[in-house]
Chains A and B, each alone.
Chain A
């Protein structure tokens, strides 16, 4: 637990957190106003997005500069690692809530509504028998189709798995000092992430237009879109992170023995990958 020379780096004052608070507040207030149909909403929201983006860029900019200057001892590096690990854990728990909703609906509420023990709930719904996938007893007249695993989701699974591999290859290249290979594989990873998002967008389009499967298509639509949607958002964020890291690789920010920014992004990307595997199994296949 020895401290590196120069002690633990404690930055003296930073404007970013308070700017972040203002930005985040404007952001959420903007959304809330918008949802309630109050005119100022979109403007407040836009201001919030801008301020928050400014904060993110500025804050990470500071961190990058300090890192490049070598202010971060090994101990600081470990703090950052713990921070990232626990952040990812919190994200996993966020997804767990939605997976929990999916399992509950499939294992409990839908069977109950369609007459399993306690059989009485079915009385309310004109003896309807339901089975997954379903939009629920109140939407029996709705015409819609569920989203199967083939072909797009399966292709997307392969894309994400491949991107995990290309990223790992890039990581090895970085550790071994092969700059060209590193940058090539990083771009490949970014490209794969982008393709995934493109396919996913097309899948949504297909769902809405061809399948009449929408966010409000009962519990199936709710769980389908919320799970894949939040995952998609994470892919988008991950891809942006990868892009930034790629650019930093090109600028030569990382050294073979010290490249936490790279690793944190890689962890995040693997986490997004694993969540997708869960989705693929529980949302698409089973």
Chain B
């Protein structure tokens, strides 16, 4: 009877796998299962680190689970085996304490290097101050007199309301679009000074390789140097209240001269406009927040 149930279990597994493949319509999207390699030197280092640890654990897993399943297969009572009596072996126990220790040391070395590099914000060519608000981001180009706020774009905002009836898939970049992007130059070491005005947020763009918490009253630093022009999307990564899921980040990396041009166009004036529109919008969100 026991064998019966085991086989039935396998059958059930097959059924469920089958069911899963039926319900997942866009098989292409299932390719989205790993960390991005990103567009900076650091993000690639982190990706490599991630893959290295992952593969090490896979190898250890294959060995350990291999031994376990072999034992489950061979050393079962139904095969008429007699149990052995041994119950310890100091030599073996020392071996399997020391080997993992060695593996860990080997992992720690590249991790330490990467970490120290990530921490070094010196010699930055420009500085952007990032401020988290409930629930949008503020950006300030230090010493440039350019600052603005960046919020979820109107289309997503409309579609995301409970019972809006709008299909998320029909909205361009649902929940990952903003009304005003953070524009930065490529091949430039940019320092970020990250803080918050109300509660803790966390500024995260996966393609840059890191996230950093925005903490009210304190300033955290981080840096990046983007290789390729492009649009990189991220999101707030620290629970910050009702609309935590609705404060995306969009970074647009452009060539240096293009950036200078853009920056020149932004100087002055715009900040006031940004604040005005923010008041208007925050009234809306205040209403929403009044629970």
- Is there a contact between chains A and B in the complex with CB atoms less than 8 Å apart? yes
Interface residues of A (CB under 8 A from B): 112-113, 118, 120-121, 123-124
Other-chain contact of B193, A112, A113, A120 (Cβ < 8 Å): A120
In the complex, the chain B residue whose C-beta lies closest to that of A123 is: B219
B191 shortest CB reach to chain A, Å: 9
A35 shortest CB reach to chain B, Å: 20
In the complex, which residues of chain B have a beta carbon less than 8 angstroms from the beta carbon of A112?
Answer: 218
- Could you tell me if A124 and B217 are in contact, using CB atoms closer than 8 angstroms? yes
A11 shortest CB reach to chain B, Å: 41
In the complex, which residues of chain B have a beta carbon less than 8 angstroms from the beta carbon of A120?
Answer: 193, 219-221
User: CB of B195 within 8 A of chain A?
Assistant: yes
In angstroms, Cα B193 to Cα A118, docked, is 11
In angstroms, Cα B195 to Cα A184, docked, is 62
- Could you tell me if B221 and A124 are in contact, using CB atoms closer than 8 angstroms? no
In the complex, which residues of chain A have a beta carbon less than 8 angstroms from the beta carbon of B193?
Answer: 120, 123
- Could you tell me if B220 and A124 are in contact, using CB atoms closer than 8 angstroms? no
Interface CB pairs A-B, < 8 A, 19 = A112-B218, A113-B217, A113-B218, A118-B219, A118-B220, A118-B221, A120-B193, A120-B219, A120-B220, A120-B221, A121-B217, A121-B218, A121-B219, A123-B193, A123-B219, A124-B195, A124-B217, A124-B218, A124-B219
- Identify whether the interface residues of B are mostly helix, strand, loop, or mixed: strand
Binary contact track B209-250/A, C-beta < 8 Å → 1, others 0: 000000001111100000000000000000000000000000
In the complex, which residues of chain A have a beta carbon less than 8 angstroms from the beta carbon of B218?
Answer: 112-113, 121, 124
Binary contact track B190-202/A, C-beta < 8 Å → 1, others 0: 0001010000000
B48 shortest CB reach to chain A, Å: 27
In angstroms, Cα B219 to Cα A121, docked, is 5
In angstroms, Cα B218 to Cα A120, docked, is 8
In the complex, which residues of chain B have a beta carbon less than 8 angstroms from the beta carbon of A118?
Answer: 219-221
In angstroms, Cα B271 to Cα A54, docked, is 65
In the complex, the chain A residue whose C-beta lies closest to that of B220 is: A118
A263 shortest CB reach to chain B, Å: 42
A248 shortest CB reach to chain B, Å: 53
In angstroms, Cα B220 to Cα A112, docked, is 11
In the complex, which residues of chain B have a beta carbon less than 8 angstroms from the beta carbon of A123?
Answer: 193, 219
Binary contact track B102-122/A, C-beta < 8 Å → 1, others 0: 000000000000000000000
In angstroms, Cα B221 to Cα A112, docked, is 13
Given contacts A121-B218, A124-B195, 16 further A-B contacts (CB under 8 A): A112-B218, A113-B217, A113-B218, A118-B219, A118-B220, A118-B221, A120-B193, A120-B219, A120-B220, A121-B217, A121-B219, A123-B193, A123-B219, A124-B217, A124-B218, A124-B219
In the complex, which residues of chain A have a beta carbon less than 8 angstroms from the beta carbon of B217?
Answer: 113, 121, 124
In the complex, which residues of chain A have a beta carbon less than 8 angstroms from the beta carbon of B219?
Answer: 118, 120-121, 123-124
In the complex, the chain A residue whose C-beta lies closest to that of B129 is: A123
In the complex, the chain B residue whose C-beta lies closest to that of A138 is: B217
In angstroms, Cα B219 to Cα A110, docked, is 13
B211 shortest CB reach to chain A, Å: 17
A108 shortest CB reach to chain B, Å: 11
In the complex, which residues of chain B have a beta carbon less than 8 angstroms from the beta carbon of A113?
Answer: 217-218
In angstroms, Cα B127 to Cα A123, docked, is 14
In the complex, which residues of chain A have a beta carbon less than 8 angstroms from the beta carbon of B221?
Answer: 118, 120
In angstroms, Cα B290 to Cα A83, docked, is 48
A101 shortest CB reach to chain B, Å: 16
